[in-house]
Amino acid sequence: MATLGIITNDAYSCEIFEDDDGRVYFKAGAAIDADGANGQNQKPAAYKSDDSGTEYLANGGMKIVAGKVVCAHEWARSIVVLDSNNEPKIFPGGIIASTTWYRIPGLASDVPEAYVDSECVPYVVVPSLIVQKTKGVVRGCKARVTWNGNSVDCVVADLGPKSKIGEISIEAARQLGIPESPKNGGIKAAEVFYEIWPGIVAPGFVLQPA
């Protein structure tokens, strides 16, 4: 067993471990990541032009100015599909398509269906430290999350900020019994157990090198 690193946030410090067989594991909280929920499976969309989505536009780095949604922060442009004016593209129904690190093979990057739907797929978000410090491919690999005696098999589908650890999709939270609202759900305490197997593909996905 080796320590890959420690990520410290406001609530706790998370030590990330790696077994000799390559399994990575840690205990952290569970924020809810709505990215990829674009209404593509007749489920609610994370972001909408009138801010009625399951997630606040502000949490995606956006705001409404003169009736139009614009990026309030430059980093927002890396997590939503942009229009020709370099601002969020509005799809039918007022949907703003958010992206995930994992993109469905064969689909263009500017369509809502190209990304992993947080409303339907149990997935895990990882910080860049895990990608950089492990040998196996992380994007698309197998993962598992355990809380309160319940476990759910997941895929690593999104990449989070380097200073943040402990994020899961809406569907992963739902299956675990964790409050799944991106606006006010999740668990802040470091009581959720994460396991990741770099290099071992999650069923139904492919490994996508960083």
pTM attached to this predicted model: 0.93
Distance CA 142, CA 38 (A): 23
Distance CA 204, CA 151 (A): 19
**% helix / strand / coil in the chain, to the nearest 5?**
15, 40, 45
With b meaning 16 or more CB within 10 Å and e meaning fewer, what string describes 105-126? eeeeeeebebbbbbbbbbbbbb
> In terms of CATH, what superfamily is 2-35+118-201?
RlpA-like domain (2.40.40.10)
Mind listing the pLDDT tens digit for each residue in 49-71?
999 999 999 999 999 999 999 99
Distance CA 30, CA 158 (A): 14
Instruction: Give the pLDDT of the chain (210 residues) as one tens digit per residue.
Output: 889 989 988 778 999 999 999 999 999 999 999 999 999 999 999 999 999 999 999 999 999 999 999 999 999 999 999 999 999 999 999 999 999 999 999 999 999 999 999 999 999 999 999 999 999 999 999 999 999 999 999 999 999 988 889 999 999 999 999 999 999 999 999 999 999 999 999 999 999 998
Mind listing the pLDDT tens digit for each residue in 13-23?
999 999 999 99
Is residue 119 within 8 A of residue 181, CB to CB? The reply is no
Cα first-last separation, the chain: 24
**Sequence spans of domains, the chain:** 2-35+118-201, 47-98
